Amino acid sequence: MDIYDAVNAKQILRVTKKVEDFACNILSPGRFEHSLRTAKMCRKLCERFLLDVHLGYLAGVSHDLCKNSSDEVLIALAKKDGIPFSSLESRKPSLLHGRAAAVLLQDRFGLENEAVLDAVRWHTFGRKGLCPLGRALFIADKIEPGRKGISKRVRKEILALDFHDMVIRVIEDNIIYLNETGKIVAPETLEMYDEVKAERKQGNICGNLSCG
């Protein structure tokens, strides 16, 4: 690690400590524990797939910062990113919590790392073009050890897969769950699914995206 990387790593660790303390104070105990488990799982995935483990942990501990916020707060924060709300987000503002958290990371903590911001912003649905860190967070959020509805056997099966197949399996399981519970599968999720399957067929490890 050169001096530049060392300085960046220290900055990320300082931000992570501040975010973790903030999350502990603002989230319910259960939600905070989920965030910690997601952070550890994301870090584990990053280590395995040669992504930045510090960024992985930060993305995980940050992803649900606004989960307990009111609809009014979520809408006000999410509007700042300048991206139009989808019809699904408009009908259910709680789905904006990732976008709101990304804005909070920028405004309150001065975070400028685009990989972390994108990962947090789109962790709920995923999306086409999501960076590898974002995909790692998407997976981690769905399979962390405390997540209801996923057995140890299924988690072990998923973790045994390569990166693309892991994303594909998590999305497929998520689609089954949403269909069984009468919920809508977001178009963004289906677009990411098609993209990752296409990359898998072509044999691209990270598609055309940076693995940083």
How much is the pLDDT for 147? 93
Calculated CA dihedral for residues 186, 70, 40, 148, nearest 10 degrees: -60
The residue whose two tokens read 């509007």 is 79
Domain range annotation of the chain: 3-202
Contact 61, 23 (CB under 8 A): yes
Instruction: Please tell me the CATH superfamily of domain 3-202, with its number.
Output: Hypothetical protein af1432 (1.10.3210.10)
Contact 88, 95 (CB under 8 A): yes
Whole-angstrom distance, CA of residue 27 vs CA of residue 145: 19
How much is the pLDDT for 5? 58
Question: pTM score, two decimals?
Answer: 0.92
Contact 116, 105 (CB under 8 A): yes
Could you list the mean pLDDT of each consecutive 10-residue stretch along the chain, which spans 212 residues?
A: 60 95 97 98 97 97 97 98 97 98 97 96 97 98 94 96 97 95 95 96 59 44
